[in-house]
């Protein structure tokens, strides 16, 4: 646990008693603060009482009297589409609002570091797609190369659940736009942007607000090194803003759509990763045989992880060996099984159109299980990538509407995962892939993308 610094003996309010809120309250208490908590649900309030924390309705008159700060769990809206009433009350009372990421960055460094030979470092990864894989891959590369490392944030442990730093340790954080948008302190040593595509638009009042939330990690964080995906205009804009010219080694640009040779850059084309620095090639890896990273979208993740590892002085050969031993993450291009020449792949984390489009580009012949709770913007960006789809099997509350938006694709409205898996397995031929890549949120039928992926996996394995 990371004891929160700066609030010793002061009352700090915590809104939301999910995983993040509970860990935050415990870390505040460990640092000498006095947590005052609130949750809108009776279950959350019961969890707070079970831990012995005082409950207070923070929207009541005088709710913020004596409160030094309000710490908000990431799922709670603080501005769009409308501010949570507790957050609005904090604004009116002049109480600073923060989240656990902000607390981590203000509390991570301690006086113990004065005795370390090498200061601990933080790599923070954000972006629309691939940030979980990139985060896990960076952590894997570090561990495989003998570097002490921890992983947390939007993946694995909460940031305040981390162990106190060791000499030379590296913490790798996955940060969502919900987390970067509100944190009052963002000071990573290395910051990574994988890519930008429309997502969470209601929470950020459009793509501009969403990009602004991501940009804070770089503009306000001031990292020593920045790794930026430049395959979208937002990435190119951000890269251009960070340095005066391409000879500045504080920036590494990455791409899977173009060859880059100016400045420090890493790109992948036709399955080969290349690193260039000052116009000279300094590294190359054949990614085609890396089983845990199939498809161009995973090659982008490999470029980002490679670049981040290079900022820490890890050599290309050490990175290459680690890539080959990377097992992959559940629900992200995860090979579940193979039977009679048919592969079954779980990419339930493809919850938006851009992620699903990238999954469709990874395989030549696809029996595609798709659908769910559609997000804003429609399915337009998917249309150019439907050529690999042999047939679609559509699930979810909006299955019929989804199926009508797939021009030239034979689409069967299945409704449920049970029906879709059975139909796809019945129809599939050798050389084809049964792919779950929903392009939608899961909340019409499941509690999470993980629950959806687990259902797909269980039904496939039960039928084999």
Print pLDDT tens along the chain (464 aa). 999 999 999 999 999 998 889 999 999 999 999 999 999 888 889 988 999 999 999 999 999 999 999 999 988 999 999 999 999 999 999 999 999 999 999 999 999 999 999 999 999 999 998 999 999 999 999 999 999 999 999 887 899 999 999 999 999 999 999 999 999 999 999 999 999 988 888 899 999 999 999 999 999 878 999 999 999 999 999 999 999 888 899 999 999 999 998 999 999 999 999 999 988 999 999 999 898 888 788 999 999 999 999 999 999 999 999 999 998 888 988 889 999 999 999 999 999 998 899 899 989 999 999 999 998 778 888 999 999 999 999 999 999 999 999 999 999 999 999 999 999 999 999 999 999 999 999 999 999 999 999 999 999 999 98
- Give the Cα separation of 77 and 202 in Å (integer): 10
What local confidence, expressed as pLDDT, does residue 213 receive? 94
Q: At what angle do helices 131-144 and 296-311 cross, to 10 degrees?
A: 50
Strand, helix or coil for residue 363: coil
- Give the Cα separation of 78 and 85 in Å (integer): 9
377: left (phi over 0), alpha (psi -120 to 50) or beta: left
Domain 11-98 has CATH 3.40.50.720: yes
What local confidence, expressed as pLDDT, does residue 460 receive? 97
Residue 255: strand pairing partners = 267
- Give the Cα separation of 331 and 253 in Å (integer): 27
Structure tokens belonging to residue 406: 């797939």
Q: List the binding residues.
A: 127-133
Q: What is the largest CA-CA distance in the chain?
A: 68
CB 395 within 8 Å of CB 446: no
CB 86 within 8 Å of CB 59: yes
Question: Count of residues for the chain?
Answer: 464
At 424, which helix (H) or strand (E)? helix 417-427
The torsion angles phi and psi of 264, rounded to 5 degrees, stand at -100, 120
What local confidence, expressed as pLDDT, does residue 165 receive? 93
Strand, helix or coil for residue 200: coil
What local confidence, expressed as pLDDT, does residue 330 receive? 87
DSSP 373: B
The contacts of residue 160 (CB under 8 Å, 6+ apart) are 1, 2, 4, 23, 24, 26, 27, 100, 103, 104, 107
What local confidence, expressed as pLDDT, does residue 378 receive? 83
* 107-325: CATH, from 1.10.3720.10, 3.40.630.10, 3.40.1190.10, 3.30.830.10: 3.40.1190.10
The b/e string for 407-442 (b: 16+ C-beta within 10 A; e otherwise) is: eebebbbbbebeebbebbbebbeeebbbbbbbbbbb
Q: Where are the domains of the chain?
A: 11-98, 107-325, 334-463
- Give the Cα separation of 445 and 454 in Å (integer): 13
Structure tokens belonging to residue 124: 């923070």
Alpha-helical regions (H) of 312-352: 316-325
CB 402 within 8 Å of CB 336: no
- Give the Cα separation of 124 and 403 in Å (integer): 38
Q: What dotted CATH number matches 334-463? A: 3.90.190.20
Q: List the binding residues for ATP.
A: 127-133
Alpha-helical regions (H) of 130-252: 131-144, 177-182, 201-204, 207-219, 233-242
- Give the Cα separation of 107 and 222 in Å (integer): 18
Omega of the bond leading into 81 within 30 degrees of 0 (cis) = yes
């Amino acid at each position: 646990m990371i004891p929160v610094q700066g609030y010793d003996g002061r009352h700090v309010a915590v809104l939301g008693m999910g995983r993040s809120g509970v860990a935050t309250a415990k870390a505040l208490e460990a640092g000498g603060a006095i947590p005052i908590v609130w949750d809108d649900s009776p279950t959350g309030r019961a969890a707070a009482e079970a831990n012995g924390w005082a409950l207070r309705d923070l929207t009541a008159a005088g709710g913020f009297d004596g409160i030094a700060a309000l710490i908000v769990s990431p799922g709670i809206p603080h501005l769009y589409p409308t501010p949570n009433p507790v957050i609005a009350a904090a604004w009116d009372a002049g109480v600073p609002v923060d989240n656990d990421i902000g607390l981590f960055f203000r509390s991570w460094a301690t006086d113990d570091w004065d005795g370390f030979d090498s200061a601990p470092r933080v790599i923070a990864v954000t972006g629309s797609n691939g940030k979980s894989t990139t985060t896990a891959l960076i952590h894997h590369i570090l561990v495989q190369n003998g570097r002490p490392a921890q992983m947390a944030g939007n993946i694995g442990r909460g940031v305040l659940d981390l162990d106190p730093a060791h000499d030379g340790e590296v913490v790798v954080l996955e940060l969502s736009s919900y987390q970067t948008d509100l944190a009052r302190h963002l000071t990573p040593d290395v910051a990574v942007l994988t890519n930008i595509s429309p997502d969470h638009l209601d929470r950020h009042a459009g793509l501009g607000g969403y990009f602004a939330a991501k940009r804070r990690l770089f503009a306000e964080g001031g990292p020593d090194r920045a790794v930026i995906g430049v395959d979208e205009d937002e990435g190119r804009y951000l890269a251009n803003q960070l340095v005066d010219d391409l000879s500045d080694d504080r920036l590494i640009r990455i791409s899977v759509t173009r060859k880059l040779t100016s400045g420090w850059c890493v790109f992948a084309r036709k399955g080969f990763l290349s690193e260039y620095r000052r116009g000279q090639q300094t590294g190359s890896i054949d990614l085609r045989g890396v089983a845990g990273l199939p498809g161009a979208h995973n090659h982008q993740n490999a470029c980002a992880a490679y670049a981040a590892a290079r900022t820490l002085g890890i050599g290309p050969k050490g990175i290459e060996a680690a890539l080959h031993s990377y097992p992959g993450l559940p629900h992200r291009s995860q090979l579940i099984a193979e039977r009679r020449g048919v592969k079954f792949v779980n990419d339930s984390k493809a919850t938006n159109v851009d992620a699903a489009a990238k999954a469709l580009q990874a395989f030549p012949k696809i029996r595609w299980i798709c659908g769910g709770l559609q997000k804003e913007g429609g399915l337009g960006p998917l249309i150019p990538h439907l050529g690999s789809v042999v047939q679609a099997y559509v699930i979810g509350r909006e299955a019929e509407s989804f199926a009508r938006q797939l021009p030239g694709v034979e689409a069967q409205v299945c409704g449920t995962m049970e029906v879709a898996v059975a139909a796809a397995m019945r129809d599939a031929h050798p050389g084809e892939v049964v792919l779950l890549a929903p392009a939608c949120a899961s909340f019409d039928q499941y509690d999470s993308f993980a629950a959806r992926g687990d259902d797909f996996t269980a039904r496939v394995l039960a039928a084999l």
